[in-house]
Structure 1
Amino acid sequence: MNDRADQPLLLSDCQQGILRLTLNDPARRNALSQALMAELATVLQSAADDSAVRVIVIAANGPAFCAGHDLKEITAARAEPDKGLALFERLIDSCAVLMQQIANHPKPIIAEVAGVATAAGCQLVASCDLAVAAESARFATPGVNIGLFCSTPMVALSRNVHTKHAMELLLLGDMVSAQRAEQIGLINHAVAEEELTATAMAMAAKIASKSSYTLQVGKQAFYNQLHKPLDEAYRYTAQVMVNNLLAADANEGICAFIDKRPPQWQDC
């Protein structure tokens, strides 16, 4: 439950096919508390089956995009008879499920990052399909500095950046700039702060103009083939593409291209 009855932990707004979700716990630097993760998971689940939602943008209010897990919540649990074991298991499991929900979501998800994204917050950025950040944004997996290696964040991190770049972030625990994050593939673009929202929303609008069926097929296939052996990946994606060619939207899109007219998607 939200312990701040005066304001929601998560703001939601959907316009023209773009669902904009804003983390709204700036006092705790948008830490991934149990409550915030539960709200985010619920909204994402609802959006999966909502035909009005074609693409999702995750942003945040305050000076931090997301500071990772709530360390005060973790520390308080150590006073329990089990030394916090039950909470730790729930917390880490909930976060892992949430990150997989983002990766497996049928709609493309864009992270719009202002401020810092650290530990599980960096994991959240890496888990999204696309990420745009303000030039002033900073990223880190600093768990090693407090005796807690960022083991679960490294799953998403290691699937987005080169092994040595991932290990540098994990072993040193240093903050890196948005420009460096762009260089190593953690984010797509670093832009001026005043252009951040416009850039993310422009990307979202372009995606929203596509066939949602085609986007779902493509996103699922991308992640499914990623770690298959080369020959298996080609066999798998060949069948995906054949099935895609048989779909109504592929027929419509190809005919529209030939006829030099805008396509009228049926999303099937």
Structure 2
Amino acid sequence: MLRLGSVNYDVQDNIAILTLDEPNKLNALTSGIRMGIREGLQRADQDDAVRVSIITGAGGKAFCAGADIGTFDFDPEKARAFFIDAMEVLSAPERALKPVIAAVNGIAYGGGFELAIASDFILAAESARFGVPEIKLGLLPGFAIVRLQDIVGRAKAKEMSILGDPVDAAEASRLGLVSRVVPDERLLVDAIAFAQRIASQPRLAVQMAKSFYNRGLGGNEMRHAIDGFPFLLMHADAREGINAFREKREPRFDKT
């Protein structure tokens, strides 16, 4: 097993398993986890023995809790640089040549949710919860804002983004977010079994299927999301939302 930043990278037969491993931070998208996701998926693509990748979270409580809010900087230039890097990481499963399975245990919020929906398949533990709560910080989800409506429909995407309420695994299945829901204790076992089924198919045909279905993803809408994020951070609502999160209190947004 290799340690890539804060991600454990292991290959079992022809399956690469990337385990986000900062459970004390609920596997938030720290610089170490962002580096590990990027390097792990690149390594899997370059390894001819690997046919499928699985991303999961250590600790049981969280797949990935999203951005590391404690490190947010209100400077627009720094915020834009951070967001460019984050969007590159969140879209990495989409851009990977080989199929990627998100094995979601516990919470997948914000960037963690976006990392999951960028994967080709999501297997959810019964305890899994999915959500884009950025609105509670005076912000909006970046990657999900250009992807979510294609999965759950425009109205539900608006509801999830504007209210910020999470959905459980059963609801996520009904919405078409996840491929299947499994008992918590079987999540990784079932994800590996699913990956083995994919790995048994013709390699080139599988990679071409992913490429064809993902055609048209990316482009200008991603650039709009990147450019919009620093603008939101400049607003007083974002400062209040982020400071309230850091201070562990309810935000008091301007009602006027």
Give the TM-score normalised by the residue count of structure 2: 0.79
* Greater RCO (CA < 8 Å, at least 6 residues apart): 2
Q: d(CA) in 2 for partners of 1:210 and 1:149?
A: 39
Write out per-residue CA displacement over residues 191-247 of structure 1, whole angstroms, 9 at most, x where no aligned residue: 1112211211110010111122111111101111689xxxxxxxxxxxxxxxxxxxx
Partner deviation per Cα, 1:26-58 (whole Å, 9 max, x = no partner)? 111111122311221012112212101100000
The percentage of counterpart residues that share the same residue type is: 33
- The 2-side partners of 1:138 and 1:102 are apart by 20
AA in 1 matched with 2:55? I
1:109-258 aligned within 5 A: 109-224=100-215
Alignment of 1:27-106 (within 5 A): 27-62=24-59, 63-74=61-72, 77=73, 83-106=74-97
Structure 1 gap ranges (5+) = 1-5, 78-82, 228-268
CA distance in 2, matches of 1:156, 1:124: 11
Which amino acid in the other structure matches residue 58 of structure 2? N
Aligned amino acid, residue 103 of structure 1: E
Query: CA 1:123–1:194 in 2, change beyond 3 Å: closer, same or farther?
Result: same
Kindly report the root-mean-square deviation, in angstroms, between the aligned alpha carbons of the 2 structures.
Answer: 2.0
Helix, strand or coil: the match of 1:51? Answer: coil
CA contact (8 A) 2:151 2:176 kept: yes
**How much has 1:85 moved relative to structure 2?**
2.7
**SS in structure 1 opposite 2:89?**
helix
How many Å separate the matches in 2 of 1:218 and 1:18?
18
Q: Distance in 2 between matches of 1:154 and 1:129?
A: 18
Q: Secondary structure of 1:149's partner?
A: coil
- Asked if the contact 1:141/1:173 (under 8 Å) is kept, the reply is yes
Partner of 2:17: 20
Within 2, Cα distance between the matches of 1:226 and 1:98? 15
Stretches of structure 2 that go unaligned for 5 or more consecutive residues are 219-256
1:178 and 1:168 mapped to 2: Cα distance?
Answer: 17
Q: Is the 8 A contact 1:157 1:186 kept in 2?
A: no
TM-score by length of 1: 0.75
Which ranges of 4 or more aligned residues in structure 1 deviate by more than 4 Å?
none
Distance of 1:11 and 1:71 partners within structure 2? 23
8 Å CA contact retained: 1:34, 1:91: no
